[in-house]
Structures are given as C-alpha cells and as structure tokens.
C-alpha cells in the first residue's frame, strides 16, 4: 500500500508507525484541517523552531544592550542620583553572581606554617613573600601569598588576581627552587582546559610590591580536571574544576565567580581592618579570569579605590560562546561591562586591551566527555574601545575625565600588566610618581613540601563542601516560602498562590510577555488511518518563534461533540511522531505509542514539538537566553499557551478538559508548564498533569556530588536552573497544580533516580493534597520497568479525571 507522508519526520512507512492502530490510507496532498491555512513549509519543523528561537534570543540581547544605556545614562559621578542607582545595581549584581552570603569578620591574615615550615616562601632584600590564608565564608578560606615591601613605606594595598590557570607564585616571580632568568620568569601550568599547557609571562604582583605596595594574591579554581570526580562512585569527567563548581552552585543560587569575588572582598576586609593605614588606596588588578574578578569586585564594593583589568573588558553579547562557568543568569539585563565600569565611577578604572592569556580552545578530552563547549579568545581592540566608549557615555564624559583609562597592551613583545604599565597605573592612583628603578627580581621558593596541586584540591573541596551544605539546608527556605499561603481550603490556596506562580515563573524560568499576535494556524494532513487522522500544525507565538506539533483526531468524532484533549509530550531529542509510532519504530520502547493509544481510546490528542532537540544547537539557546534571565521554558510556556488557545477553539474540544502527559524531558515539562498555565476566566489552561519518568528530588539530582545519577556526571549542561534549590523543587512546583489533579508514573528500573528519592519528594505533594481534603486528586504509580510509559494507572487517571469512559477492551 502506498502512503504519502508530507511530514518532515523520519518514517519509512506509515504502516510501521501504526501497526496495531488500524488500517492506514493514502494521504491527500496539501489537505489542511478545516478553519486553518495550508502548511507548505519544507524545512524540518524542529529545525525551523530552533533557528527562530535563536534569532529571537540574539535580537533580545541586542535590544538589552540598548535598554541598558538608559539605566544610569548621563548621571553625574558623585551625585546622589548616581550613588543611589549604583547601590541598587550592586544589590542586583551581587544576587546574580551569588555573592550573597555574609563573610566572616576579618580576624587577621593567617600565615600558613608548620613545625617544619615557617611560612616564608621567598625573600630577596626588597620584598618578603609569605604563604597565607584568610577567612571568607564559614568553611571557606582564600589561600595564596602575601607580598610585602622591605624597607619601604607602603603606598597602597593591592589584591593581585591571576588567571585561573596561573598560580599565585607565577605572577609573583617565584621560581620553584631552581635558577632561572632574573628579569623575567616563565612558568608553565598543566591545566589549560583544552589540555594545552599555558604560559605566564607577567609578574605584576611582584611589580606592585617592588613599588611599595602590600599585595595579597589569591589562588583561583583552575581549569584542570583532576578533581572533577567522585572515585567512590566511579565517576570521573572532563569538567574543568570551574565548571564542576559552577554546575552544583548554579542550582543553589551561587557561582564560582561569586565565591571568588567573595575571596577578593574578604581580602579588602582584611586591608580595611588595619586601622593605622586604612586610608591607603586599595587596588584590585587581574588578568583574564582575574580581570573579570577585578572588574566585578570593584563594581560591587566602593571601598576599592581603583581596578586594573587586563585581557577581559569587552562587549559581552558573545558571552554564550565562552566557557559555561562564565554564564551568569540575567547578566545582560543591566550589567554589561560598560555598566559595571559605570558602577565603578568616579573611582579609577584602568583597562588594558591585552591579549587574552591564556586563550581557551575548549574543554579537555577525556574518557567521559560531558563538559560544555566554550572558548576564550582575545577581544579585538576595536571591540574593547566600543565598550569603553559606551561606559563613558553612561556617566557624563566630561566628569569622568581620566577616570577610565585605556592602556594599550598590544605592543609587539609586551606582556599583560608589565612593569611600566603597573608603574603608570600606580602613579595615577597614588597621585605621585614612583621613582623605583627595576633591579634584580630573583625569588626562589624556600618551601620543601609545598604542593600547588594540594592547595588547589583544598580550595575546590571547600567550595564543593559549602555548596553541598547549602543543598542540605535549601529545603528550609522553600518550606518557609510555601508555608505562608492560606491552606484553609483548595480554593483559598489556589487564590493565595496565584502571584507565587508568577514569581516562580519569573525567577526560575524567565517570563516573557503573553503572546498577542495572530497565531495564523497552518496545518497539513500527515496521518490517515481507520481510527484517527493526524495533522501537522504550526502556530505563530512571537516574531520568529513558532509552536508546532501533531493533532490526532479520532475517526468517530461526531459533529458538535465535545471531547477531552490529552497533550502528549516527547522527551529529550524527540519528536511528536515518537509518541505516535508503533512497535516497529525506534521510539516505541520508551513511548509505547501512547499518543496514538490515547486517541484510539477516544481522546483528542495533541503532541507538541518542544525545542530540546539538536544537541549543542538547542543547548546554546539556553546559554543565549540565560544571560537575559531566560531559559528554554521562557519559550516553551508561551508555546503551550498559544497551542491551548488554538485547541480550545476547535469545534470538538472541550476547553475545560485539556490534560498533560509527558515522558522524561516531557515529564520535566509536566512540572513546569501546567503549573504555570492554570485555566482562568481569561485563558485556557491544563486541568491536570502527569509526570512520567522524570519526577525526582530534582535539586539534589542536579547538585549532589554523591549520587551516581546526578547531572554533574552527564552532558546535559543546559539542565541547571538558577537558584532552584531556594525557589521551588518538584514538590513545590507540583503543589502549584492545586487543586487540579496531578500524578507521577515511575519505573523501578528507571536510571534517572531511585524510588526512595521519588517517594520522598512525592510524599510532600500527597501530604499537601491530603491536608486540603483532596487527596483523591493525586497519586503515584510504581511499576516494574525502565524509563518508559507504562500506560496502566495513568490511563485510568486520565479517563477518570477527564471524564471519558474507558473502552471495554482496555486492561
């Protein structure tokens, strides 16, 4: 039998898809559903959807840059208006980078010494270098070097921040106990992210000390991979240490950037606590990753008198191309580099347009390649100057004067923050010319048992330990947040929690305005079987953003008859046809053709295409959206709203009986979309939701280092949601379904988690429903099987709550 398929989905023969669902018939070319236009798109719809969202996201980044100009544009440095706006932006920015925890009060810088080592690292008559650490947060220290000038009055205090792949010793000119060049020390370090070794040819920390500055040099988390593992679980990855910390911290509203900014600011705390010289200028200076931290720290803390940023300052619209540990939720709403520079004004900012050293070509290769792609390349001078120009326009340029200074670090043979550059900056900061003449800089490490690798391990373990402690306590904040709502009745709770839905939508997923454009429904017939007809559907959501899917209509529909709808959602890398295909198709093992089966049972079925398809192509959509405080669900939720509007207007649809049933990533959708789209007087919504093969103690699944099925060990780098641990876990999201029915389908052998975690999280939902007297509206089915649709209790749940009779021959 010849069957023509006008769909873009990869099926060889419709008979294979519908084996067991009735005889198939040939499809009439170009036949649309009544009341819709003809869909004549030749491109694959999932690709069309992805490219459209991509254009929408890139355009939004460009628009955000224009909007940012209005934040503090034209305000006079030093004015009350500017100071007030800067403080408001600082509070916002601290939250974005997770620098929100109270630091330990300064109690002095500790010298790291033992019975065999006195803490002295090196000395040469001009400077002395000590191994030190200082308290930052409870359970987290900063560790590095303190360099002090000898026989010279201190003129300033400096936090000198290396690139992530440079040790404090490298930028301090300290040789590892061997004789080398006296004028320049070149060291190598093995953690360049891509596996390449990286050179450090700058000794700017030592330069500051030689000119009379007291200098603290913190250790940064590097890009090596050796500690991104859990040997007890047999899990190792190619995650850089920075991404390893980033993944778990992001889920809890913290960030590797925020932790390291806190270390810089804790150093400032120490400097300011020295009463007798508290009036000395405090400077932060850094290269590459250290330049980022210098810029961020100075923008946050007005106690810092000057910042020197080398090899980092640039236009940030391409941040999505950089390593994911630079991904900051909502960054580009208000805080591009120019805006951060304006937050520093009228304090001094020096920007060196130097090569990015080291450049990063991507993650390291390993046996388990799960790291996110991302590169760091040197910004062009033109791009740097454009961002500087924007910064100067944000505050009145004539008032800025020489407060934003561009240093040219691109001269042939020059190094980042070389001696003459440091001297020029320091002269301007201190207001007098330093007459120091550079002499012998040779410093040799005197320590016998020092290990930079061990120091790095401790720094990482402290961040991991701090994050895991947040994970253990996060439920308290969620419980406090949800305890405030009226639980006197289901109606009272639903009314009281209405604004919480809006807040969670905004905080957790990113909320776009409701779509208002004409959806222009276009369809084409792609399935014609004895028991159902299927139409491919495209709807407009926003400019360039479409919703698409397949609508299945039972063949026995009668004119004027109203039936319930089940929206059947595919999982990761899936298509609507995966939910429809028969036993011979590749998707059947997981989906069991549940969309077609439900249509055979008499339901109208809509199987939407969600945009999580295409590997890195869709994951970069998340990156492009995150910097504006958006996620894939910023688009998915409006896509479903537009689909619900269209479905509710179809002549055979009962708009009050539209339910949702999703597997895997579709189950992820089940606890994110229906809770945000309840039926209202103004809009249609989902009247129930079923989460299959996904429900979990989701925050722990993302952030735990002790679970073998944690997303720390997998390639789904887009999965992490900013501060979810303190906003809403799966229990809280499911509770937002109240008073609508909610169900979980769980296979004992499903590797996404373990029964105990699933039961723990669902128990909170059941207790909530029981306390409201509606316990019959929620249930969970455990079945003996893997990551799949089971189609037993869930089908009965749908028939019961959508009020549609079960067929006589159903199990």
Q: What is the pLDDT of residue 419?
A: 93
Name the nearest CA neighbour of 479 among 196, 768, 115, 271.
768
Q: What is the mean pLDDT of residues 378-405?
A: 84
Which residues make Cβ contacts (< 8 Å) with residue 736, sequence separation at least 6? 497, 500, 501, 504, 675, 676, 728
**For residue 118, what are the contacts with CB-CB under 8 A and spacing of at least 6?**
none
Dihedral sign of CA atoms 451, 453, 454, 458 in order: positive
Handedness of CA 582, 584, 615, 52 (dihedral sign): negative
pLDDT category, 276, cuts 50, 70, 90? low
Residue 196's pLDDT band, with cuts at 50, 70 and 90, is very low
Q: Quick one: average pLDDT of 45-60?
A: 97
Q: For the residues 549-569, what does the mean pLDDT come to? A: 97
- Look at 200-204, 302-306, 339-343, 451-455 and tell me which has the smallest mean pLDDT: 200-204
Choice among 187-191, 213-217, 280-284, 716-720 with the minimum mean pLDDT: 187-191
Rg for the chain, CA atoms, rounded: 30
CB 467 within 8 A of CB 252: yes
Return the structure tokens found at 112.
């790291």
Cis peptide before 638 (omega within 30 of 0): no
User: Would you place residue 661 in the very low, low, confident or very high pLDDT band (cuts 50, 70, 90)?
Assistant: very high
Q: Among 725, 721, 703, which residue's Cα sits nearest to residue 712?
A: 703
Residue 421: exposed, middle, or buried by beta-carbon count in 10 A (0-12, 13-18, 19+)? buried
Rounded mean pLDDT, 141-162: 96
- Average pLDDT of the residues of the chain: 91
Residue 354 pLDDT class (50, 70, 90 cuts): confident
User: Picking from 59-68, 95-104, 131-140, which range would have the lowest pLDDT averaged per residue?
Assistant: 59-68
Confidence of residue 369 (pLDDT cuts 50, 70, 90): confident
The two structure tokens encoding residue 338: 């120019």
pLDDT over threshold 50, residue 189: no
The sign of the CA dihedral 245, 247, 251, 256 is positive
Give residue 28's pLDDT band: very low, low, confident or very high (50, 70, 90).
low
Query: What's the average model confidence in pLDDT over 31-50?
Result: 96
Instruction: Choose among 559, 116, 92: nearest CA to 334.
Output: 92
Nearest CA to 221 among 467, 408, 524? 467
Strands 213-218 and 140-149: antiparallel
Task: Look at residue 2 in the predicted model and tell me its pLDDT.
Answer: 31
d(CA 792, CA 804): 15
CA of residue 18 relative to chain centroid, distance: 40
Looking at residue 197, its pLDDT comes to 36
In this predicted structure, the answer to whether residue 24 has a pLDDT above a threshold of 80 is no
Residue 226 has pLDDT above 90, yes or no: yes
Mapping DSSP onto H, E and C, the string for 380-420 reads CHHHHHHHHHHHHHHECHHHHCCCEEEECCCCCCCCCCCHH
Digit-coded pLDDT (tens) for 577-595: 999 999 999 999 999 999 9
Residue 799 token pair? 């028939």
Beta-strand ranges (E) seen in 300-407 are: 306-310, 348-352, 404-407
Instruction: Say how far apart CA 51 and CA 383 lie, in whole Å.
Output: 26
The whole-number pLDDT of residue 221 equals: 98
Mean pLDDT confidence for 225-253: 97
Query: Is pLDDT above 80 for 18?
Result: no
Within 10 Å of residue 502's Cβ, how many Cβ atoms? 12
Average the pLDDT over each of 369-383, 637-651, 676-690, 691-705 and give the range with the smallest value: 369-383
Which tokens go with 477?
């904040």
The answer, yes or no, to whether residue 76 has pLDDT greater than 80, is no
Q: What is the pLDDT of residue 439?
A: 61
Tracing tokens 């200076």 back to the chain, one arrives at 285
Tell me the angle at which helices 632-648 and 616-626 cross, rounded to the nearest 10 degrees.
100
Q: What is the mean pLDDT of residues 261-268?
A: 98
Query: What is the pLDDT confidence band of residue 187, given thresholds at 50, 70 and 90?
Result: very low
The residue among 19, 6, 172, 111 whose CA lies nearest residue 534 is: 6
Strand partners, 404: 349
Give Dmax over CA atoms of the chain in angstroms.
Answer: 97
Question: Tens digits of per-residue pLDDT, 747-804?
Answer: 999 999 999 999 999 999 999 999 999 999 999 999 999 999 999 999 999 999 999 9
DSSP 784: S
Report d(CA 689, CA 257) in Å as an integer.
Answer: 38
3-state SS of 660-708 is: EEEECHHHHHHCCCHHHCCCCCCCCCCCEEEEECCCCCHHHHHHCCCCC
In the structure, what pLDDT confidence band is assigned to residue 10 with cuts at 50, 70 and 90?
A: very low
> Does position 16 have pLDDT exceeding 50, yes or no?
no
Closest CA to 168 of 145, 199, 198, 192: 145
Q: What is the average per-residue pLDDT within 408-424?
A: 84
Beta carbons within 8 Å of 123's beta carbon, 6+ residues apart: 129, 150, 443
Measured distance CA(745)–CA(788) in Å, rounded: 9
Whether the Cβ atoms of residue 590 and residue 570 lie closer than 8 Å to each other? no
Among 11-15, 641-645, 781-785, where is mean pLDDT lowest? 11-15
Q: What is the rounded average pLDDT of the residues 404-421?
A: 84
Average pLDDT over residues 365-393: 89
Q: Where does the pLDDT of residue 69 fall: very low under 50, low under 70, confident under 90, or very high at 90 and above?
A: confident
Q: Is the pLDDT of residue 48 over 90?
A: yes
Distance CA 761, CA 764 (A): 6
- Do residues 545 and 53 lie in contact, with contact meaning Cβ atoms separated by under 8 Å? yes
What pLDDT is attached to residue 399? 59
Q: Kindly tell me if the per-residue pLDDT of 30 is higher than 80.
A: no
**pLDDT above 90: residue 364:** no
Per residue, what are the HEC states of 164-221?
Answer: CCCCHHHHCCEECCCCCCCCCCCEEECCCCCCCCEEECCCHHHHHHHCCEEEEEECCC
Which pLDDT score, from 0 to 100, does residue 199 have? 74
DSSP category for residue 27: P
Residues 6+ away with beta carbon under 8 Å from 312:
286, 287, 288, 289, 291, 292, 295, 356, 379
Per the CB < 8 A criterion, the answer to whether 584 and 608 are in contact is: no
Residue 674 clears pLDDT 90, i.e. is over it: yes
Determine which helix (DSSP H) or strand (DSSP E) holds 560, and give its type and residue range. Answer: none
As a whole number of angstroms, the distance between CA 298 and CA 309 comes to: 10
Tokens 């019961």 correspond to 800
User: Is the distance from CB of 540 to CB of 530 less than 8 angstroms?
Assistant: no
How far apart, in whole angstroms, are the C-alpha atoms of residue 688 and residue 738? 9
Which pTM value belongs to this model? 0.94
List phi, psi (to 5°) of 145: -125, 150
**536 SS3 class:** strand
Can you name the residues that pair with 782 across neighbouring β-strands? 746
Query: Residue 276 class from Cβ within 10 Å (0-12 exposed, 13-18 middle, 19+ buried)?
Result: exposed
The C-alpha atoms of residue 596 and residue 594 are separated, in whole angstroms, by 5
Residue 609 pLDDT more than 90? yes
Q: How far apart are CA 563 and CA 651, in angstroms?
A: 10
pLDDT in tens, 123-133: 998 999 999 99
Kind plus residue range of the DSSP H or E element containing 714: none
The confidence score (pLDDT) of residue 193 equals: 46
Indicate the range of 93-102, 198-207, 420-429, 797-806 predicted with least confidence.
Answer: 198-207
Q: Which of 70-84, 471-485, 532-546, 788-802 has the lowest mean pLDDT?
A: 70-84
Is pLDDT at 142 greater than 50 in this prediction?
yes
pLDDT at 13: 35
Supply the pLDDT for residue 431.
85
452-482 helix and 256-272 helix, angle to the nearest 10 degrees: 100
Q: How confident is the model over 95-103, as a mean pLDDT? A: 98
């Amino acid at each position: 039998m010849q069957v023509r398929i006008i769909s873009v989905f990869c099926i060889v023969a419709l008979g294979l898809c519908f084996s067991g669902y009735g005889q198939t018939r040939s499809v009439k070319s170009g036949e649309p559903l009544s009341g819709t236009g003809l869909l004549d798109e030749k491109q694959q719809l999932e690709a069309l959807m992805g490219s459209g969202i991509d254009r929408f996201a890139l355009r939004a980044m460009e628009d955000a840059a224009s909007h940012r100009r209005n934040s503090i544009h034209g305000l006079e440095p030093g004015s009350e208006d500017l100071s007030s706006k800067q403080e408001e932006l600082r509070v916002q920015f601290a939250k974005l980078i997770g620098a929100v925890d109270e630091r330990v009060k300064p109690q002095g810088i500790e010298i790291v010494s033992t019975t065999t080592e006195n803490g002295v690292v090196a000395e040469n008559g001009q400077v002395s270098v000590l191994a030190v650490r200082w308290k930052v947060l409870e359970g987290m220290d900063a560790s590095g070097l303190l360099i002090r000038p000898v026989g010279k009055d201190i003129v300033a205090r400096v936090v000198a921040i290396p690139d992530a792949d440079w040790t404090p010793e490298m930028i301090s000119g300290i040789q590892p106990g061997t004789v080398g060049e006296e004028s320049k020390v070149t060291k190598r370090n093995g953690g360049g992210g891509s596996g390449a070794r990286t050179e450090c040819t700058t000794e700017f920390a030592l330069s500051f000390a030689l000119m009379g500055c007291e200098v603290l040099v913190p250790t940064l988390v590097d890009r090596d991979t050796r500690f991104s593992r859990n040997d007890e679980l047999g899990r190792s990855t190619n995650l850089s240490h920075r991404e390893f910390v980033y993944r778990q911290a992001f889920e809890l509203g913290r960030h590797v950037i925020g932790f390291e900014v806190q270390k810089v600011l804790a150093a400032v705390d120490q400097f300011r606590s020295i009463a007798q010289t508290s009036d000395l200028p405090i400077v932060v200076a850094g290269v590459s990753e250290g330049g980022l931290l210098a810029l961020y720290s100075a923008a946050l803390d007005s106690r810092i008198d000057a910042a020197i940023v080398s090899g980092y300052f640039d236009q940030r619209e391409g941040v999505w191309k950089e390593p994911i540990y630079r991904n900051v939720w909502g960054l580009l709403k208000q805080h591009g580099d120019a805006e951060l520079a304006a937050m520093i004004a009228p304090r001094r900012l020096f920007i060196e347009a130097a090569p990015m050293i080291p450049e990063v070509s991507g993650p390291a290769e390993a046996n388990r390649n799960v790291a996110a792609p991302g590169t760091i390349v040197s910004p062009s001078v033109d791009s740097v100057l454009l961002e500087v120009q924007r910064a100067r326009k944000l505050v009145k340029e004539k008032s800025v004067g020489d407060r934003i200074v561009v240093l040219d670090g691109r001269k042939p043979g020059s190094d980042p923050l070389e001696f003459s550059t440091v001297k020029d900056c320091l002269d301007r900061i201190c207001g007098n010319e330093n007459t120091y003449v550079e002499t012998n800089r040779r410093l040799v490490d005197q320590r016998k048992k020092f290990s930079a690798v061990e120091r790095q391990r401790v720094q990482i373990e402290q961040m991991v330990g701090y994050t895991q402690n947040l994970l253990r306590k996060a439920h308290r904040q969620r419980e406090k947040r949800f305890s405030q709502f009226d639980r006197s009745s289901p109606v009272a709770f639903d009314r009281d929690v209405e604004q919480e839905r809006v807040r969670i939508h905004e905080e957790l997923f990113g909320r776009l305005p409701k779509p208002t454009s004409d959806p222009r429904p276009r369809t084409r017939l792609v399935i014609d079987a004895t028991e159902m007809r299927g139409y491919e559907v495209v709807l407009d959501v926003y400019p360039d953003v479409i919703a698409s899917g397949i609508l299945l209509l039972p063949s026995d529909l009668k004119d004027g008859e109203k039936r319930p709808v089940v929206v059947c959602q595919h999982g990761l890398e899936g298509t609507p046809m995966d939910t429809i295909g028969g036993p011979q198709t590749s998707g059947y093992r997981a989906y069991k053709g549940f969309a077609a089966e439900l249509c055979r049972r008499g339901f109208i079925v809509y199987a939407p295409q969600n945009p999580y398809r295409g590997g890195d192509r869709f994951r970069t959509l998340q990156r492009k959206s995150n910097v504006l405080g958006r996620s894939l669900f910023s688009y998915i939720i409006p896509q479903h709203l537009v689909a619900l509007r269209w479905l509710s207007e179809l002549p055979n649809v009962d708009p009050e009986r539209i339910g949702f049933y999703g597997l895997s990533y579709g189950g992820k959708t089940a606890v994110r979309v229906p809770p945000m789209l309840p039926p209202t007087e103004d809009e249609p919504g989902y009247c129930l939701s079923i989460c299959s093969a996904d429900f979990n103690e989701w925050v722990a699944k993302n952030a735990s280092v002790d679970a073998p099925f944690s997303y720390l060990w997998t390639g789904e780098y887009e999965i992490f949601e900013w501060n979810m641990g303190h906003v809403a876990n799966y229990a809280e999201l499911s509770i937002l379904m109240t008073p609508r029915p909610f169900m979980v389908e769980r296979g004992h052998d499903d590797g996404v988690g373990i029964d105990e975690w699933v039961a723990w999280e669902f128990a909170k939902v059941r207790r909530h429903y029981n306390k409201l007297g509606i316990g019959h509206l929620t249930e969970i089915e455990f079945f003996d099987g893997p990551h799949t649709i089971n189609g037993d209790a869930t089908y009965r749940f749908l028939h019961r709550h959508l009020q549609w009779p079960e067929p006589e021959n159903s199990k």
